[in-house]
Amino acid sequence: MIPPDAAHLSVLEAEALHIVREAAAQSARPVLMYSIGKDSSVLLHLARKAFAPAPVPFPLLHIDTTWKFRDMIRFRDATVARFGLRLHVHTNPDGLARAVNPFDHDPSTYTRIMKTEALKQALDAGGYDCAIGGARREEERARAKERIFSVRGPGHVWDPKRQRPELWQLYNGHRAPGETLRVFPLSNWTERDVWTYILAEGIDVVPLYFAAPRPVVERNGALIVVDDDRMRLLPGETPAPRMVRFRSLGCYPLSAAVASAAADLPAVLAEMAASRASERAGRLIDFDQDASMEAKKREGYF
């Protein structure tokens, strides 16, 4: 339960529940974008609250690039079983056939094929008219202007000029044929809010968020955890155990860990209060071009 000294979270929680319900009420086939990370865990928790005692009325969709940490997949399957959820997993078959991977392909090509294209395929195949995601405006400058209900044109393209003004808590979910919605109930949350809420509500997250000795190689200053034997080590690189944790989770060869001793939630929160490295700094895909997030969004990256 939210403690009185973090009462601002009650307001954010109520707002998010309202948004999740609006998304469900205004859509024929909504789906929850489940990326297994902390934001997805909070989103799922809110979706379960929003419809209780009824079950979550939509399935979860996970875009599996096949390069996720094994702990993430284990956590995903355990969560789905525990709460009796419906899960739809999709991998881009063209990408698989062409063996697209984070070593031979540059990060932006890899992301486009295994994430952006895969997501579009899965949304089209499922006939989903509304995808509910855990993105937050605070995460990145290009997101500061994102709407809570964001309209995507045919082909899932995002056109900043066509975004609707959003007033009060009135969300216009009307779509023309071919248009879909992205809905972001956590828009107004910060990383700190997310962790504080996870602690207050006792939400389970992937253990990778907590420090533990893990096999690490250091590459261009980034700490990469070697999750399986597909990792291509460069000459001279030998994985060595180090106490690390993740602030943001994705494909293991592209996720940088941080050196940390924070092995539980209170320690993570204390460390966050002290440190000020932004969480996306651990995602190597954002660095390749200026304003890269905006470019990816225009293409339909979540």
Partner 1 sequence: MPAELLRVLACGSVDDGKSTLIGRLLYETDSVPDDTMAALAADSRRFGTVPGALDFALLVDGLAAEREQGVTIDVAYRYFQTPRRRFILADAPGHQQYTRNMATGASLADVAILLVDAAAGVQIQTRRHAAIASLMGVRQFILAVNKMDLAGFDPAAFAAARDTIAALLARFGDVALTAIPMVAREGDNVTRASARMAWHDGPTLLAALEQAVVPTPVPTAPIPTAPIHDAPARLPVQLVLRPDAAFRGYAGTLRGGALAVGDAVVNARAGTSARIARLIGANGEADRAGPGEAVTVTLDHEIDVSRGDILATAPVPEATQQITARVVWMDATDLFRGRAYLLMAGTASTVATVTEIAGRMDLDRVADEPARALSANEIGTVTLSLADPLVLEPYATDRALGGFILIDRLTRATVGAGMTTRIQPNGRAVYWHRLDIDKAARAALKGQRPAVLWFTGLSGAGKSTIANLVEQRLHARGLHTMSLDGDNVRHGLNRDLGFS
Q: How far is the CB of 86 from partner 1 (least distance, A)?
A: 15
Considering only the stretches 74-82, 91-99, 108-116, 192-200, report the one whose residues sit in contact with partner 1 under the rule CB under 8 A. 192-200
How many residues make contact with partner 1 (CB under 8 A)? 63
Rounded to a whole number of angstroms, the minimum distance from the CB of residue 70 to partner 1 is 28
Least distance between partner 1 and beta carbon 237 (Å): 24
> How far is it, in rounded angstroms, from Cα 251 to Cα 102?
8
- Amino acid occupying residue 20: V
CB of 100 to partner 1, least distance (A): 27
* Residue 172 is a binding residue for partner 1 (CB under 8 A): yes
Q: How far apart are CA 225 and CA 16, in angstroms?
A: 34
Q: Which of 105, 153, 190, 263 binds partner 1 (CB under 8 A)?
A: 190
CB of 60 to partner 1, least distance (A): 18
Amino acid code (one letter) for 194 = V
Q: Please identify which residue in 65, 116, 150, 196 interacts with partner 1, judged by CB under 8 A.
A: 196
Candidates 96-104, 166-174, 204-212, 216-224 — which segment interacts with partner 1 by CB under 8 A? 166-174
Q: Who contacts 54 (Cβ-Cβ below 8 Å, separation ≥6)?
A: none
Write the single-letter amino acid at 77: D
E strand intervals along the chain: 30-33, 60-63, 87-90, 130-132, 149-152, 180-183, 212-219, 222-225, 240-245, 256-259
Stretches 50-58, 73-81, 220-228, 233-241: which one binds partner 1 (CB under 8 A)? 50-58
CB count in 10 Å sphere of residue 2: 17
By the 8 A CB rule, do 108 and 292 touch?
A: yes
154 binds partner 1 (CB under 8 A): no
Instruction: Encode burial over 99-112: b for 16+ CB neighbours within 10 A, e otherwise.
Output: ebbbeebebbebbb
At its nearest, how many Å lie between partner 1 and the CB of residue 182? 16
Does position 70 interact with partner 1 (CB under 8 A)? The reply is no
Min dist CB 219 to partner 1, Å, is 18
Binding mask 119-138 for partner 1 (x = CB under 8 A): ------------------xx
Q: In what order do the strands lie in the sheet with 149-152?
A: 87-90, 60-63, 30-33, 130-132, 180-183, 149-152
Which lies closer to partner 1 via its Cβ, residue 6 or residue 212?
6
**Among residues 48, 49, 105, 219, the one that binds partner 1 under rule CB under 8 A:** 49
Q: Residue with structure tokens 């979910």?
A: 173
* Residue 163 found at the interface with partner 1 (CB under 8 A): yes
Show the DSSP H helices in 177-236 as ranges: 191-201
H helices, E strands: number in the chain: 9, 10
Q: Among residues 54 and 97, whose Cβ is nearest to partner 1?
A: 54
Neighbouring residues of 70: CB distance < 8 A, sequence distance ≥ 6: 227, 228
- Window 262 to 301, contacts with partner 1 (CB under 8 A): 275-279, 281, 290-291, 294-295
What is the C-alpha to C-alpha distance for residues 145 and 187, in angstroms, rounded to an integer?
Answer: 10
Residues of this chain that interact with partner 1 (CB under 8 A) are 1, 3-8, 10-15, 17-18, 21-22, 24-25, 49-55, 137-138, 141-142, 144-145, 160, 162-170, 172, 174-176, 179, 187-188, 190, 192-193, 196, 275-279, 281, 290-291, 294-295
